[in-house]
Amino acid sequence: MATSIPPHNAGELCQALIALVENPKVQDRTIFKLVKGPDFPTGGIVVDDSATIQEAYRTGRGGFRLRARWRREEGARGTYQIVVDQIPYQVQKAKLIERIAQLIEEKKLTALEDVRDESTEDIRIVLVPKSRTVEPEILMEQLFRQTELESRISLNLNVLDKGVTPRVMSLREALEAFLEHRRDVLGRRTRHRLAHIRRSAGGSDGYLAVYLNLDKVIKIIRTQDEPKPKLMAAFKLTDRQAEAILNMRLRALRRLEEMQLREEHDALVKEQKELKRLLGSEKLQSEKTDRRNPGDRPAVRIENSARPVPRTEFPVCGGRAEFSIRTAGRSPGFLRSVSQTAISPSRKPLQFLLFLDEGIVLLAELHLSRRRNARSRILRIASA
């Protein structure tokens, strides 16, 4: 029953709420265009495709893959280094660097030479490859798999519906519940303010009665042992108004005080009318819903990882034959070793284990041509 709701951009949520206020039957795809995904204060890149994110918002359960943001910085003589300037949410930088250094020491990151922390106010983690021939994309894929440079943020919209019943809501239901809560708060706040205005306006009515009949009020107070009942009977005052008049100081009888009191009374009466009109109109209540500053631009970038990956070819040599391996969905890498049997055109299809420098092991099945036993094609490649 644990709740896990990642932070979101306030501006995007406000825009979605406004869309629901203007059209309660707005379609989900419109809301998903406004709320593209979570937004984290530490930045990063969400690499899930839009369909996965939308399904998580529809069901209220799911997760988001968040990666660090990095860039390549060129150096002298063709060298380069990788700079990480944003790390995933709630990942401790010190532990992250310690983990990378441990992998380097254990020789599990053979393509990485060193890691340095050059952070000041902003994060700057420098990764130095061993050679300029190392592909940065391949190196980062290794780091994403073995370190917290990629983390998974869970989503579980398990909330108390109307403060009573726990249940899992979709994003739309959560936004609608928030709007209902805001309308309830607006109504209670308005009624509380009206009650305060009634008390304040009642007191100002009593003060104005004093200013209009000041001599008579002073006479009653001076001649009567119990002036309070007399004041209430003479000017039709309430007990609270009569008590306020008896507690009034003489300095409050100035002309300026009377003018200020009349202005305050007129303002209270005007506000009272507006609040009563607000309580009687749902349209005005919707318009009164907060439309504050939409907030800053999201710090997290959403990337669609479902986009097609270009196909790549690179040569592989092993034994007496030379092959051309075509990969789909993988970055090009460097062959480290080939495990194979003796090549013969008369034998059945052979299987090869290809160990690539990026740490990927491919199982390749090939068929040899009887006519050209020196060359062949890889027919199928699958991850081992």
What confidence score (pLDDT) does residue 294 get?
53
Examine residue 246 and state whether it is found in any structural domain, yes or no: yes
Q: Where residue 276 sits, what CATH number does that domain have?
A: 1.10.268.10
Average pLDDT score over residue span 79-86: 93
Q: Are residues 109 and 194 in the same domain?
A: no
What confidence score (pLDDT) does residue 362 get?
45
Q: Within its chain, how far is the Cα of 57 from the centroid?
A: 13
Q: Are residues 280 and 329 in the same domain?
A: no
Instruction: Tell which residue, 68, 69, 62, 45, has the closest CA to residue 304.
Output: 45
pLDDT surpasses 80 at 105? yes
**Per-residue pLDDT reduced to its tens digit, 187-196:** 888 888 888 8
Distance from C-alpha of 138 to C-alpha of 111, rounded to nearest angstrom: 9
Task: Let me know how long the chain is.
Answer: 384
Pairwise pLDDT comparison (201 vs 271), residue with the higher score: 271
**Per-residue pLDDT reduced to its tens digit, 233-250:** 888 888 887 887 788 776
Examine residue 14 and state whether it is found in any structural domain, yes or no: no
What confidence score (pLDDT) does residue 202 get?
67
Examine residue 179 and state whether it is found in any structural domain, yes or no: no
Instruction: Tell which residue, 128, 74, 69, 73, has the closest CA to residue 104.
Output: 128
Examine residue 175 and state whether it is found in any structural domain, yes or no: no
Q: What is the tally of structural domains in the chain?
A: 3
What confidence score (pLDDT) does residue 342 get?
35
Q: What percent of the chain has pLDDT over 90?
A: 33
Q: Are residues 283 and 331 in the same domain?
A: no
Q: Are residues 222 and 267 in the same domain?
A: yes
Pairwise pLDDT comparison (286 vs 378), residue with the higher score: 286
Longest dimension (CA), the chain: 132
Lowest-pLDDT range of 20-29, 133-142, 204-213, 232-241: 204-213
Q: Are residues 208 and 274 in the same domain?
A: yes
Average pLDDT score over residue span 291-301: 60
Pairwise pLDDT comparison (203 vs 79), residue with the higher score: 79
Q: Where residue 78 sits, what CATH number does that domain have?
A: 3.30.1360.40
Q: What is the mean pLDDT of the chain?
A: 75
What confidence score (pLDDT) does residue 289 get?
56
Boundary (domain end) residue, out of 148, 177, 211? 148
Pairwise pLDDT comparison (337 vs 79), residue with the higher score: 79
Strands 321-327, 375-383: parallel, antiparallel or unpaired by DSSP?
parallel
Half-sphere exposure of 380 (CA within 13 A, CB side): 8
Examine residue 235 and state whether it is found in any structural domain, yes or no: yes
Q: Are residues 204 and 281 in the same domain?
A: yes
Pairwise pLDDT comparison (56 vs 304), residue with the higher score: 56
Query: Domain span at residue 129?
Result: 69-148
Q: What percent of the chain has pLDDT over 70?
A: 70
Q: Are residues 281 and 207 in the same domain?
A: yes
pLDDT surpasses 80 at 34? yes
pLDDT surpasses 80 at 95? yes
What confidence score (pLDDT) does residue 356 get?
45
Examine residue 340 and state whether it is found in any structural domain, yes or no: yes
Lowest-pLDDT range of 5-14, 55-64, 166-175, 304-313: 304-313
Yes or no: say if 383 and 361 are a contact pair by the CB < 8 Å rule.
Answer: yes
Pairwise pLDDT comparison (214 vs 300), residue with the higher score: 214
Examine residue 223 and state whether it is found in any structural domain, yes or no: yes
DSSP-assigned beta bridge partners for residue 364:
352, 381
Burial 204-241 (b: 16+ CB within 10 A, else e): bbbbebbbeeeeebeebeeeeeebbebbbeebebeeeb
What confidence score (pLDDT) does residue 224 get?
84
Pairwise pLDDT comparison (367 vs 215), residue with the higher score: 215
Half-sphere exposure of 316 (CA within 13 A, CB side): 29
